[in-house]
Every structure is written in structure tokens, then in C-alpha cells.
Amino acid sequence: MRWPRLCGYYRGVFIRLWGESLTMSLQYVKRSKSWVVLRVSVISLLIVLFCCKVGEATIVIGQTSDFEDGTTQSWTDGGSGGGFFVTHTNIPNGGPTGVGDNFLQVSQTSTGRLATVNDSSGWTGDYQAASVTGVRADLNTTHSTPLDIRLVLFDGFNQLADRWTSTNSFTLPNDGLWHTFTFSVQQADLTNVAPINPGTYNSIITNVQRLMFRHQSGPASSQGSTLTLATFNIDNIVAIPEPPSLETTFIKAGSTSWDPLFRQFVDPSDSLGIDVEAAANSPLAQVNVNELYVQFSKDVNVTSGDLLLTGDTVADYSGLISGFDYDSGTFLATWTLSEPLEADRLNLQLAAVTDLAGNPLVATSVDFTALPADSNQDEVVLSDDLVQVRNLQFELITGLGTATSNCSPRHDLNGDGVILSDDLVLSRNQAIAENHPVAIQVMPTG
């Protein structure tokens, strides 16, 4: 018998029995004037308390059940006292990494509730003190219907024990593929479903005596849902700290037409484009900006439709997105537009992006301005911009990160690495229409 379980379930029984024996001892002492029995009774209590102390549970961040030792690693049916008619089998092949990757198969032997529990020292104890805020696991199933998986925390082992369960279940598809889920144990994500005398969140999170994964459909309930001969597989159960926030590390704008030297000149760190967050008050002056780059702080689930780009001139740019790419190695997403950005005040947001555990991206909203040929960055294109380009003709980028003394990316309007007559023509075309000076500007807000 494991000491943590002894402490969790039988400690109260021992103390009650000790109390009864102490009462009997005192009665005996009163009659016989002997202190021998009283001393024995006190010593027995100290032994029980000492055993419970040395056997306290030891949940820690990184606690893992990966089943590579060929055992069930103390995951059981909990004694089948709660309607769990299941077997646990260590399968030597077919885990998330394939051949040679062990996993645990949890299978029903009869109609009942599908669950697996662990009350060993590795998975019980004070989650709060250990800074454990979630449990991550890989699961799959080929059951006839998808399963609704929840995590449950118990403070004891009988059917009346206090318990907190995941408020919302994770839907496990019945596609036979492995899926990774992170089950939060934070108060905002749990619901107390004790059958009687519900306790506080603090009382459960500081004294978890049993951990359970179970199928339970519908609203959070004290009992799992009934199934017949269902199976799920589980692997790589890990106690984790609060995950770092998913954020963007940069948002940049560039062009498929830019020369590599120009890219490196405007973006020494990544050779991509201009950081629109860092240059929020500096309009994009290039005439051919047609790519947006977003790098995330970790690997993500992201699609083409997650970019929301709107403007004053063009209300919705979604129809202009012609290409999308995501590099899971660098966490870099690239959106390509079918047409370059024209003069516009823009807002970029990202919707529905999550990390691989399902944690959402921190709210992201970036405002920036595109104004082709605004070389002097005054948010209006006039003849003074044309004069600046003319005065800087023949300035060029001479190598990686180097250029002639007066070379300016704001005047190399096509991003080919040298300021020439073609840039002058581009500037003139932006500032002059039908031989009359025209101020192309972005109207102020407010």
C-alpha cells in the first residue's frame, strides 16, 4: 500500500479509531490508574502522523507519464468502485512518434464510464506550491463517435470526495490520430462538481489526492458519461507551468520585387522587410509593397484567413490575399497580396491563431500607413519628394549592410538597391496627374 494513499483515504479512519481507542483508554485509566495504554495510544497516533508526513505527495513541474518502461505507471481504474470497468494495457508501438513509442490503452470491458485515474505520489499533492497550472497529454481514439475528455481533481478516494473538473471538455476526434491537449487546473477553467459539501478551490488545488482523465459529455458533472466497449489511448502526460503567452515577435512589410541587398539594408536581422510597428509614424514609401510577414513567439496554428487587414481606402484586403506560407521552424507566416499597397491608413489584426496546445494569441492590433513615394515622410506626396529623389540619384547599396553615404531606402522607391531615374519617374507619377501637381495624401483621422 502506498503511503500517500494511506494518508489520503485512511488517515481519517485511523484518527477516528484512535479517538475511540483513546476514549476507551481513558476509561481504563480511570478504573485501573494505569498510564500504559494511554502511552501506547498516543504513540500510535504519532506513528500514523509521521508516516503520512514522510509519504506526502510530490507533484512537480515536469512530472511525466510516458509509459516507456512497459508499465501502466500507476494509472488504473481506481478500483472499479465508480462504474469504471476498464483495463489498462501498455502498448509498445504506435505512440505519437510511431514505432517503439509506448502508450497506454484504456479500454472498457463492459458498459460504464470510461476513465483512468492516478493517485500515486507523482501526481498528487500541492499543485499550487509546485506552480503546476496544467496537465498536457496526447490522446487518440477510434471509437464510433468522438469523445469529450475532461480532467478531474479529487481530494479523496470515495464517491463522496470533493472534486473539480474541466468546465469545458476537449473533443477528441475519432480519427485514430494523436492530438495534444492542455488541461488547465486554474480556478477559472474548473467547476466544482462535488456530490455533497463542495469545498473551495484552494482546498483542492493544495491537496490533490487523485487525478483523472475521463469522457464526460454535456455540462460539467460529478460523474462521467456511460459508454459501451469504448477505448482511448493516452501518452506523454506532463505537469506543466503556466504556458508563456503566445505573442508576435515582429510584423514587417516587404515586396517580392525587392533586391536581396535592399532587404538586408532595411532589415539587417531578418532580411525580410520594414518593421511596421517600429515605423508606425513613418509611411511605407516603396511603390511595390505586397508582402506582410508575422513571426510568432512559438509554433502556431495559423491559416491565410487569420490575417485581418483593413484600411480607409480599401475597407477589406482579404480579397487581395493571393498567397500564404507558414514556416513551423522559424514560426514565420507570410501573406502575399495580388496588388501592391496604395495610399491608405491600415489596421492589421490576427484572429483565431493559437499555439499547438490551443492557447490563443495575445490580442494583436497594429496601425500603419502606406504612402508610395512619400520620401520625406510628411504624409503627403508633392514636388519636394520629387526633388529629394532627384538629388540622391546614383546613391546605392554597395554590399551587405553597406551603402554610399547618402543612400536612403525611402528614396529607392522600387527597392532595387540603387536610386536612379526609374525612382524619379515613380516619384513624379505619384505626385503629378494630367500635368497638374496633385497632393496624394492620407487624410488625418479624427
Given a contact cutoff of 8 angstroms between Cβ atoms, the answer to whether 105 and 233 are in contact is yes
For residue 404, the tally of other CB atoms under 10 A from its CB is 13
- Nearest-angstrom CA–CA distance, 285 and 146: 52
Given a contact cutoff of 8 angstroms between Cβ atoms, the answer to whether 335 and 304 are in contact is yes
- Nearest-angstrom CA–CA distance, 73 and 148: 24
- The model's pTM: 0.51
Distances (CA, A) of 16 to 21, 23, 45, 48, 89: 9, 11, 10, 12, 38
First vs last C-alpha separation in the chain: 73
Please state which CATH number belongs to domain 248-441.
2.60.40.1220
Which helix (H) or strand (E) element contains residue 38? Answer: helix 36-54
pLDDT band (50, 70, 90) for residue 91: very high
- Residue by residue, DSSP assigns 256-310 as TTS-HHHHHHH-TTTSS-EETTTTTTS-B--S---EEEEEESS-EE--GGGEEEE
- Written in H, E and C, the secondary structure of 248-269 is EEEEEEECCCCCHHHHHHHCCC
- Nearest-angstrom CA–CA distance, 34 and 102: 61
Q: How many helices (H) and strands (E) does the chain have?
A: 7, 30
Cell digits for 86? 476498464
Which helix (H) or strand (E) element contains residue 52? Answer: helix 36-54
Cell digits for 66? 510516458
pLDDT of residue 306: 97
- C-alpha atoms less than 13 angstroms from C-alpha of 167 in its C-beta half-sphere: 8
For 391, list phi and psi in degrees, rounded to 5: -70, -20
Burial of 301 (0-12, 13-18, 19+ CB in 10 A): middle
Tens-digit pLDDT profile for residues 318-358? 999 999 999 999 999 999 999 999 999 999 999 999 998 78
Range of lowest pLDDT (242-246, 278-282, 381-385, 442-446): 442-446
For residue 49, the tally of other CB atoms under 10 A from its CB is 14
Cell digits for 243? 504556458
pLDDT of residue 441: 52
Domain ranges of the chain: 3-54, 64-240, 248-441
pLDDT of residue 385: 87
Sequence-ordered list of residues with C-beta below 8 angstroms from that of 279, at least 6 positions apart, any chain: 368
311: pLDDT strictly greater than 90:
yes
Range of lowest pLDDT (21-35, 86-100, 385-399): 21-35
Distances (CA, A) of 264 to 152, 170, 210, 267, 302: 52, 45, 56, 5, 27
What does the pLDDT average to over 243-259?
A: 92
pLDDT band (50, 70, 90) for residue 406: confident
38: pLDDT strictly greater than 60:
no
Cell digits for 407? 543612400
Distances (CA, A) of 110 to 171, 226, 395: 23, 10, 81
360: pLDDT strictly greater than 80:
yes
- 248-441 shares the fold of 64-240: no
For 82, list phi and psi in degrees, rounded to 5: -115, 25
Please state which CATH number belongs to domain 64-240.
2.60.120.260
pLDDT averaged over the chain? 83
Q: Tell me the residue type at 205.
A: I
Nearest to 133 by CA among 201, 77, 69, 78: 201
Nearest to 409 by CA among 442, 377, 361: 377
